[in-house]
Structure 1
Amino acid sequence: MSGNVALLLWRAAERCAARPAVVEREESVDYAALVKRAAAIAAALLAAGVAPDDPVAILLERGGDAAAAFFGTLAVGAITVFVNETLRPRQIEYLLAHSGARHLVTTHDLLARQPRALHADVRVLDVRTIGPGGDSGLAPLPRVGSDVAQIIYTSGSTGLPKGVAVSHANLLAGTHAVVAYLGITPDDRVASLLPFSFVYGMSQLLCAVAAAAALVVERSPLPQQVLETVRARKVTVLGAVPPLWLRLLNVAAFRERPLPDLRVMTNAGGRLPTEAVRALRRAQSAARLYLMYGLTEALRSTYLAPEEVDRRPDSIGRAIPGAEVYVLREDGTAATPGEVGELVQRGPTVTLGYWKDPELTAQVFRPNPLRPPGAPDTERVVFSGDLVRSDADGFLYFVSRKDRIIKTMGYRVGPDEIANVLYGSGEVAEAAVLGEPDELWGERIVAYVVLTGAGSLERLKAYCGRELPRYLQPARIEVRAALPMLPSGKHDLGAVRAGSP
């Protein structure tokens, strides 16, 4: 698959110029205006000396200008680097230096909100000084499918972020697969609740534009405000990460009043507890729920079709169209059904590797161990670091991250297995399970929880005693007022462990 990803916007504007492209609060930008805005930013980048394959950083609030900056940057053949607007100078400076970006598309107002000035050798392009519309006749620069389109920095609770180099072909393959299995059309209104710097958030933008649908932007983290926007703007496709779904389920109006326009719900970015899956099905029974799994290094990986959700609420499904997923043992051979192994993916969404890190690239992106005898080892598959198992029908089930396995009492324990039980108690609104060193057991299990309004720690402990074998029971359960979040919407496990609010 080849071609410039920016063509998605140019083609949408050709066939659906007057349709809404981005809806923010009371404002709406149609596709004709969005492509003109992208062309204006592209012209400003060219005037600033940006050349093909130059990394360009984008620090803008999620919305129409951020979308236009993304497509405008791609249109000139440059590489996009989205900087999450919640980051602080130290993190922004790292991303600028590591990516090699010499141009920063932002606003002076956003920079002024930072606690100090950025110390970075970059030229700032303030989008507010760029005219509202450019020459939409400006054609996106032709690109080969393997050309780098984006550097996505992975979120993590510890260590420095890694930059994943994503090609034009990767983005197009992932977008077309998701549009196909969700059935997105120009009549859809797709909610945008997640940062464009996050694979899931970027996928919502790309899928909306590819289908010429409307992207409805809501930047508030409050579930009540999210629900109000979804209802008022007649959202038809709603995607969220598990912590946000759990918070929405705590809002009575979401549980008790079906959203009449909602036809699709999607979950990614982590495993949704089984009880939450059932609660979502009860709350919005007319909407089709897709349970999805992906990793930054391969964008989208698997999904569970709505027809299977009630039968297999704990499954992440099967490979997306055009991809293949293996479950491999440590020696690289295929695991049998029921046997836990590492998820390994092949196909067109497997990204190019890590930016400026050939050693880590070689560790994670490896030759296909199941290639036919005699075949050259030119293909690279991605070893996810996630442990899964398959059932006899080929459906996959997430077990744990390899690096999050808790080794206690001689057992290897997946934290999500315990968290699933905690949520099933009905006492817990949010939960994170971690291991900590123990001289006798190797590691002890610690659960950090936010109780529901009527939740009881004593009842929770009693429930765990009934539902979990001794080796799976938390040695300690800590009640917190809230669990800290990463910009991606996932729990920040490092901050949870450190006790940060």
Structure 2
Amino acid sequence: MSINCIRTLLENAVETHSDKTAIVYNDKSITYKELFAKVNQVAFYLKELDLPKDSRIGIYSSKSIEQVIAILAILSTDYILVPLTKLLKPEQVEYIINDCGIQCIITDKQQLESIEEINFSGKVISYQTTDNNMASFEEIFKYYNKPYHCNINSYSSAVITYSFGMSGRPKGIVISHRNLIDSARVVSQYLALEQDDVISGTLIFNLDYGLNQIFCTLYKKATLALHLFILPDDFFNHVINDKVTVLPLMPVNISQMFEDSGQRIPSAALFSHVKTITSSGGNVTEKMINDCKNTFSEAKFYSMHGLTEAFRSTYLDPSQVQIRPDSIGKPIADVELYIINEDGKECAVREVGEMIHRGGYIYKGFWNAPNQNALRFKSIDILKDVIKLEGQLTDEIVVATGDYVYKDEEGYFYFVSRHDDMIKTRGFRVSPYEVESVVAKNISQIDQCAVFGIDNELIEEEIIMVYSAASEISEEEIIFELKKHLASYMIPSRVIYKKSLPLVQTDKNKIDKDELKAELARV
């Protein structure tokens, strides 16, 4: 058995902390001993399916203790886990099934109807017993009691995660067992996690940030408190009642917590046990940070920046969050970051270029996507004009992130834009993020804002700004404010008001700019 796999963490936890609570969810809980036994039962059943090594098994269900058992059971076999968030529509699930060849799906009663709509021909396992002779966890827990042993290679593929973005078909990213253990190790280190911690399981488990909460819990032999975020009041009760100490969030969660100005937020004294808040998966605003600081007054706030192709690149130390809230921080342990221009030369201080990720946490690559892999996973030779390469050792792989950033005089990184988002207008490159940030900081009446380019043969692209607010603001007033902070070529040529902006279906933190462009085309 490799020492670099999640299965080893589970075995170590049950050996030293068997009676400790591993997971809580509402009024239910399970100890490490009970968790280990149930994981073994499900893993034993999965192996009896006798699927080929590296077969893909999907989990398509709501959050529950059974969902965590299913995740750990698959990771205790030589199969590959494919998390499928319940936010996906049947046609999206069908796309993923076909793309990576899923042969078995673990689900709950709520999602069975969607699976039947897909007409999936593989094996289906339900958490609950059903009327159609389908295998269930309830039956597995009753009848499968034989000892289970496994031997896992740390460099084998463990997980394929899919993220539906704003355009095109998604590609799955392949993550090894070693990647999972490394990510748990580094996060536990820089967050200073302890075995007495209660880690909130608010994030969904379809991507690495959410899954990492499970693995950090195992790594430190802590407790994971599951929660399904629906209403802010329920969320605050979760934090108080479960005595959460570590609160991993996405920016959209923070917005949801504080979006109702008339809402009564519990006293900060009730949250004194919260010591750590983390945020990743989107841009954190100064207001978000201040709202968290006011409510969770004892907590350190960690802003983090990750990649699709690697677990994480940077984090911003809590001591700097209010000093430089726009920064994505500095590299995490075992990572080197370089910023290069189009000629492959290292950028000067405050010069914008592409960020190159070297070192730890790089994933195996995209599933069946050679063009995507060629675009992102590069030979270290790409840095030949930046670092000294000796001995002709150029087999090392780095990630050309597609993130355009700059670095200040003290070595802090600042995100500017994704390569694909850059607007080319009048011979200049304009970052939508830079314009959107000015709006967020200076026009408080605006709730949400999307900036993008549309083709204009005279100037390449013209800049469009679409916003939502409680009521429409005059375009002249908005342009007047933007001109105080932006160069003339960065000013939108059109400003459009909408009561609400469309969001990407599976990521409510992202505005669906493709839909906005399509709406403009229909006008």
Please give the TM-score of this superposition, normalised by the length of structure 2.
Answer: 0.88
Count of aligned residue pairs for this structure pair: 497
Give the drift of 1:132: 3.2
Aligned to 2:112: 111
Aligned to 1:61: 62
- Alpha-carbon distance in structure 1 between the residues aligned to 2:355 and 2:394: 19
Q: 1:463 to 1:13 in 2, by over 3 A?
A: farther
Instruction: Kindly indicate whether the alpha-carbon contact (under 8 Å) linking 2:278 and 2:304 is maintained by their aligned counterparts in 1.
Output: yes
Secondary structure of 1:102's counterpart equals strand
Q: 1:20 to 1:492 in 2, by over 3 A?
A: farther
Secondary structure of 1:94's counterpart equals helix
- Alpha-carbon distance in structure 2 between the residues aligned to 1:254 and 1:176: 38
Aligned to 1:477: 496
| Per-residue deviation, residues 377-409 of structure 1 (Å, max 9, x unmatched) | 221111111101111221111000000011223
Give the drift of 1:251: 4.1
- Alpha-carbon distance in structure 2 between the residues aligned to 1:63 and 1:428: 37
Equivalences for residues 276-295 of structure 1 within 5 A: 276-295=288-307
| Structure number, greater radius of gyration | 2
User: Quick check: 1:410 aligned with 2:427?
Assistant: yes
Instruction: Kindly indicate whether the alpha-carbon contact (under 8 Å) linking 2:200 and 2:227 is maintained by their aligned counterparts in 1.
Output: yes
Secondary structure of 2:308's counterpart equals coil
- Alpha-carbon distance in structure 2 between the residues aligned to 1:122 and 1:388: 45
| Per-residue deviation, residues 312-331 of structure 1 (Å, max 9, x unmatched) | 21111111111111112223
Give the drift of 1:462: 4.7
- Alpha-carbon distance in structure 1 between the residues aligned to 2:419 and 2:479: 27
Q: 1:380 to 1:413 in 2, by over 3 A?
A: same
Give the drift of 1:365: 0.5
Segment drifting more, 59-68 vs 390-399: 59-68
Give the drift of 1:430: 2.8
| Per-residue deviation, residues 279-332 of structure 1 (Å, max 9, x unmatched) | 433443321011100012101111011112122211111111111111122232
Give the drift of 1:483: 4.0
| Per-residue deviation, residues 346-368 of structure 1 (Å, max 9, x unmatched) | 22310111111223212211111
- Alpha-carbon distance in structure 2 between the residues aligned to 1:200 and 1:427: 32
- Residue identity in the other structure for 1:190: I
Instruction: Kindly indicate whether the alpha-carbon contact (under 8 Å) linking 2:214 and 2:224 is maintained by their aligned counterparts in 1.
Output: yes
| Per-residue deviation, residues 193-222 of structure 1 (Å, max 9, x unmatched) | 222112211122221222222222222343
Give the drift of 1:107: 3.0
Q: 1:331 to 1:54 in 2, by over 3 A?
A: same
Higher relative contact order (CA 8 A, sep 6+): 1
- Residue identity in the other structure for 2:121: D
User: Quick check: 1:257 aligned with 2:267?
Assistant: yes
Segment drifting more, 251-260 vs 216-225: 251-260
- Residue identity in the other structure for 1:491: K
Aligned to 2:34: 33
Give the drift of 1:254: 7.6
Equivalences for residues 321-332 of structure 1 within 5 A: 321-332=333-344
Instruction: Kindly indicate whether the alpha-carbon contact (under 8 Å) linking 2:472 and 2:497 is maintained by their aligned counterparts in 1.
Output: no
User: Quick check: 1:298 aligned with 2:310?
Assistant: yes
Secondary structure of 1:317's counterpart equals strand
Aligned to 1:124: 124
Aligned to 1:72: 73
Q: 1:31 to 1:288 in 2, by over 3 A?
A: same
Equivalences for residues 39-438 of structure 1 within 5 A: 39-112=40-113, 114=114, 117-128=117-128, 129-130=136-137, 131-132=140-141, 138-143=148-153, 145-251=154-260, 257-258=267-268, 259-368=271-380, 369-370=382-383, 372-424=389-441, 425-438=443-456
Instruction: Kindly indicate whether the alpha-carbon contact (under 8 Å) linking 1:431 and 1:448 is maintained by their aligned counterparts in 2.
Output: yes
Q: 1:60 to 1:140 in 2, by over 3 A?
A: farther
Aligned to 2:509: 490
Give the drift of 1:137: 5.1
| Per-residue deviation, residues 151-182 of structure 1 (Å, max 9, x unmatched) | 11133111111011111111111111011111
Instruction: Compute the RMSD of aligned alpha carbons.
Output: 2.5
Segment drifting more, 56-65 vs 434-443: 434-443
- Residue identity in the other structure for 2:417: S
- Alpha-carbon distance in structure 2 between the residues aligned to 1:457 and 1:40: 63
Secondary structure of 1:6's counterpart equals helix
Instruction: Kindly indicate whether the alpha-carbon contact (under 8 Å) linking 1:292 and 1:316 is maintained by their aligned counterparts in 2.
Output: yes
- Alpha-carbon distance in structure 2 between the residues aligned to 1:245 and 1:46: 41
Q: 1:264 to 1:90 in 2, by over 3 A?
A: same
- Residue identity in the other structure for 1:194: L
- Alpha-carbon distance in structure 2 between the residues aligned to 1:18 and 1:5: 19
| Per-residue deviation, residues 133-162 of structure 1 (Å, max 9, x unmatched) | 76595233231x321111111331111110
- Alpha-carbon distance in structure 1 between the residues aligned to 2:4 and 2:248: 27
Instruction: Kindly indicate whether the alpha-carbon contact (under 8 Å) linking 2:454 and 2:517 is maintained by their aligned counterparts in 1.
Output: no
Segment drifting more, 404-413 vs 347-356: 404-413
Secondary structure of 2:255's counterpart equals helix
- Alpha-carbon distance in structure 1 between the residues aligned to 2:300 and 2:145: 40
- Alpha-carbon distance in structure 2 between the residues aligned to 1:440 and 1:108: 56
Instruction: Kindly indicate whether the alpha-carbon contact (under 8 Å) linking 1:36 and 1:136 is maintained by their aligned counterparts in 2.
Output: no
| Per-residue deviation, residues 456-499 of structure 1 (Å, max 9, x unmatched) | 56665553344434333332132333542442443142345445
Give the drift of 1:455: 8.6
- Residue identity in the other structure for 1:230: V
Please give the TM-score of this superposition, normalised by the length of structure 1.
Answer: 0.92
Q: 1:230 to 1:342 in 2, by over 3 A?
A: same
